[in-house]
Amino acid sequence: MRFEHIDTTIQTLGEAKIPSPLLQPANGECGAYFVDDDERILLHVNEKQVAQLKADGIPAPAFESAGPRRKIYFDPSKLRCALVTCGGLCPGLNDIIRSVVLELHHRYGVRHICGIRHGLQGFIPKYGHSTMDLSPETVTNILDSGGSILGSSRGDQDIEEVVDSLERMHIGILFMIGGDGTLAAASKIADAIHSRGLKISVIGIPKTIDNDVFLVARSFGFDTAVDIATQAISGAHNEAEAYPNGIGLIKLMGRESGFLAATAALARQDVNFVLIPEVPFDLDGPNGFLENLEKRLTHRGHAVVVVAEGAGQEFFEGRKKMHDASGNVKLYDIGLLIKSKIVAHFKERGISVSLKYIDPSYIIRSLPANSNDHVFCSFLGRDAVHAGMSGKTKLVVSHWNNHFVHVPMDQVITQRKKVDPDGKLWATVLEATGQSSLKNPAPKKA
């Protein structure tokens, strides 16, 4: 992937002039390390790529490092902050809320932290959602709770109304936790704030189980999702082994990117077929999925199949496209289609199979985070606070090349991150499963 044309400049509200309270250890506590704006993390880590850029006279692109600054923009004693969670649920939402609140309260001394209920609806008067006062007492015991204590919602809301609400509430920093749709809305909110000449920072914290946010190497909740998905795979494998011609079919999340399906398959290595959106496959024909599945049953007597929800949508061509409240195209259920095709295929051949279909999607989304995600969310939330307090805005706190960095919001929403069909992840999946291309040869031209 080429990054040399990506603008990594981070916007600010103005000069940060206030000495950070983190400079003075409180109550005998240790102080803080500090990061300067000129500390940057290269986008490329491949030496040949960096050398080629240098030879071409192109500066190697690099992200600004995340972390506390020695000077901050906002006066903590007068600052009001707001947090909002949007879109689908994801393990770790409460962890993010907790880390943001604790950092604001204990480290910076901010006493006015407002939780916006049910996503962007919470800003719009007609919905009548009350706000929630957030404090250490409010968030102390929420780590073991799934979902979000603030609730969520989908769908566009009037950006100007959102900014009107921020003005009325005298908010200085808005923390928006969500996926690509949420971050696109956050970008529009930041633009509307700027056009009004307001001094409100907008900080995005990327959330997606699919791990598909561009320029974000790892998103919170993904590690937990892989953990739970592997349990589903283990159950499907046990079921498949227990019966003659047993088949375990698991549908996992992944609208446009198959990272969860691919990674979960590698975590267990009990999977024989992985179907993802990035890699087209044929159902029928001599090298299609169904023929290969039949060969697998003939040789081993059982099979496990993992399919990402966005895989094989081309098999629904001609059907009416529908959209959800957020404007996303509603996917047709590839899991149920694959299930019906398997049943029909073996029935036609007079072969008896035992098929178990598992869809753990909503269980995964609503569970608490695991230990790895607890730690990861703690870093993300605190670095989001450091960014906002220093007056930075319209950025996303990202994890890149094993560092936490600031990424311009507009760059994140330009495209989705996807599994590279020619990359190491997919190559390793093919090695672990032993599956073929599942594509028939193109017909010869007459």
* Pair 245, 182 in one domain: no
Chain centre distance of CA 212: 6
- Residue 2 assigned ligand-binding role: no
**Residue 208 marked ligand-binding:** yes
Are residue 167 and residue 297 in the same domain, yes or no?
no
Residues forming a β-bridge with 358: 250
**Residue 37 placed within a domain:** yes
Between CA 128 and CA 121 the distance in angstroms is: 9
Q: Do 168 and 179 reside in the same domain of the chain?
A: yes
Q: Are residues 177 and 274 in the same domain?
A: no
CA gap 50, 43 in Å, rounded: 9
Question: Does 313 lie in the same domain as 385?
Answer: no
Residues 6+ apart with CB under 8 A from 5: none
Q: Is 338 exposed, middle or buried (CB count within 10 Å of its CB: 0-12, 13-18, 19+)? A: buried
434 is in an annotated binding site: no
Same domain, 228 and 321: yes
**309 has binding-site annotation:** yes
120 in Cβ contact with 83 (< 8 Å): no
Does 168 carry a binding-site annotation?
no
144 is in an annotated binding site: no
Residue 439 lies in a domain: no
The pTM of the full predicted model, rounded to 2 decimals, is: 0.93
How far is residue 239's CA from residue 333's CA, in Å, rounded to a whole number?
22
Q: Cα dihedral angle (225, 227, 228, 229), rounded to 10 degrees?
A: 80
243 and 210 inside one domain: no
Q: 364 a known binding residue?
A: yes
Report the alpha-carbon distance of residue 381 to residue 96 in Å, rounded: 5
Tokens (6 digits) for 337: 């289609």
Mind listing the pLDDT tens digit for each residue in 73-119? 999 999 999 999 999 999 999 999 999 999 999 999 999 999 999 99
In a domain, residue 396? The reply is yes
Residues 147, 364 contacting (CB under 8 angstroms)? no
pLDDT digits (tens, 9 = 90+) for 353-368: 999 999 999 899 999 9
183 and 314 assigned to the same domain: no
Round to whole Å and give the CA distance between 165 and 288. 55
- Domain presence at residue 428: yes
Residue 53 sits in the same domain as residue 133: yes
Tell me if 157 is assigned to some domain.
yes
What's the CATH number where 173 sits? 3.40.50.450
Would you say residue 3 lies in a domain?
no
Q: How far apart are CA 446 and CA 444, in angstroms?
A: 6
Q: Is 373 annotated as a binding residue?
A: no
Give, in order, the Cα–Cα distances in Å from 422 to each of 63, 278, 426, 435: 26, 10, 7, 15
Phi and psi at residue 358, in whole multiples of 5°? -125, 130
Q: Any known ligand binding at 29?
A: no
Could you tell me if 360 and 377 lie in one domain?
no
What span, in angstroms and rounded, lies between the C-alpha atoms of 196 and 11? 16
- Number of domains within the chain: 2
104 and 73 fall within a common domain = yes
Domain range for 104: 11-220+368-412
Decide if 16 is inside a domain.
yes
| Pick from 435, 424, 438: nearest CA to 273 | 435
CATH of the domain at 352: 3.40.50.460
Annotated binding residue 363: yes
Residue 325: predicted pLDDT = 65
* Residues noted as catalytic: 210
Spatial contact of 372 and 53, defined as CB atoms under 8 Å apart: no
Q: What residues have CB less than 8 Å from 37, skipping those under 6 apart?
A: 64, 69
* Residue ranges of the chain with per-residue pLDDT less than 70: 1-4, 25-32, 325-327, 446
Contact 8, 411 (CB under 8 A): yes
Could you give the CA distance from residue 218 to residue 237 in angstroms, rounded to a whole number?
Answer: 28
Q: Tell whether residue 210 is among the known ligand binding residues.
A: yes
Does one domain contain both 154 and 60? yes
Flag whether 107 is in a domain: yes
Tell whether residue 433 is among the known ligand binding residues: no
